[in-house]
Amino acid sequence: MKRFGLIGFPLTHSFSKKYFSSKFEKENIKDCAYENYEIPGIEQFTSILKNNPELIGLNVTIPYKQQVLPFLDILDVSAEFVGAVNVIKVGSDKKLKGYNSDYYGFLESLKRMLPENYNGIKALILGTGGAAKAVEGALKTLKIQYQYVSRQKTDILSYDQLSKEIIEDHKLIINTSPLGMFPKIDTCPDINYTFIGKGHFLFDLVYNPEITLFMQKGMNQRATVKNGLEMLHLQAEEAWKIWNS
């Protein structure tokens, strides 16, 4: 039995188990199983590996995409570039190699959202976690200027500093925080949505619900919006390729 899984905390929002279990069934993939491993601390990661010797691949989600780095033996160029890991491949020698398929998933999904003439567009990245690092990598690849926005860090833009001029100057706004995710669907990033207009693009990495409050507020201002479901599908298929390469 080939075993795959997901580590994170909490995992009540998890997409991966349902996705891969459905994939195994639809594509008639035999002798494979996917499990959730909810761990309250990254120090328990080694016990997951020890207690599940059949594991050959793992996904990593909030809050461990950066915390897991010291536990890995080697990093793929994607993980080195991004500075975070969301896919781990367990080698036949039990060595752990980290990859970042979030970067690929977001990059491809964003390219499908933006117009061909996106040159000169600037972005705001809401949040500074592991998913934000993948977004940053994709924006660098597309040569899109960006600024981080955070409630915690004092050396970057705060939400209070998001003036009309800043929001109007940054037509791409990406929510990388879990705000608005089920079951807390009545939350959203604390920005002034009246400053958003028809020329804005709002990308929410949250995928449940299908239309988040962040997206709805953008739609009310005639902005173009997109959720994170396509990104998740793309990164999941990339993870499957990694595990089977």
Residue 203 domain-assigned (yes or no): yes
Residue 9 and residue 123 in one domain: no
Report the CATH number at residue 47: 3.40.50.10860
Average pLDDT over residues 184-194: 97
Looking at the domain assignment, is residue 240 inside a domain? no
Give the pLDDT band of residue 14 (cuts 50, 70, 90): confident
Backbone angles phi, psi at 127, to 5 degrees: 110, 160
- Inter-residue contact 49 to 72 (CB < 8 Å): no
Choosing from 48, 72, 99, the residue where a domain stops is 99
Q: Are 88 and 108 members of one domain?
A: no
Same domain, 143 and 80: no
Same-domain pairing of 86 and 111: no
Question: Is there a single domain that holds both residue 12 and residue 55?
Answer: yes
Tell me which of 99, 126, 160 is where a domain ends: 99
Query: For residues 34 and 16, what is the distance between their CA atoms, to the nearest angstrom?
Result: 8
Per-residue model confidence (pLDDT) at position 64: 95
Q: What is the mean pLDDT of the chain?
A: 96
- The per-residue pLDDT for 103 is 97
Q: Residue 154 domain-assigned?
A: yes
Domain assignment of residue 241, yes or no: no
Whether residues 177 and 211 share a domain: the answer is yes
> Does pLDDT of 203 surpass 90?
yes
Q: pLDDT by residue (tens digit) across 112-167?
A: 999 999 999 999 999 998 899 999 999 999 999 999 999 887 789 999 999 999 99
**Which residue of the set 17, 30, 50, 65 is catalytic?**
65
Task: Report d(CA 185, CA 194) in Å as an integer.
Answer: 20
Residues 155 and 199 occupy one common structural domain: yes
Helices 101-113 and 130-141 meet at what angle, rounded to 10? Answer: 60
67 and 121 belong to one structural domain: no
- Report if residue 8 sits inside a domain: yes
Are 57 and 156 within one domain?
A: no
Do 136 and 95 belong together in one domain?
no
65 is catalytic: yes
For residues 138 and 51, membership in a common domain is answered with: no
Q: Is residue 244 part of a domain?
A: no
Domain ranges, residue 11: 2-99
CATH number assigned to the domain comprising residue 160: 3.40.50.720
Within a domain: residue 147? Answer: yes
* Domains held by the chain: number: 2
194 within some domain: yes
121 and 198 in a common domain:
yes
Domain stop point among 99, 117, 134 = 99
Per residue in 51-101, pLDDT tens? 999 999 999 998 999 999 999 999 999 999 999 999 999 999 999 999 999
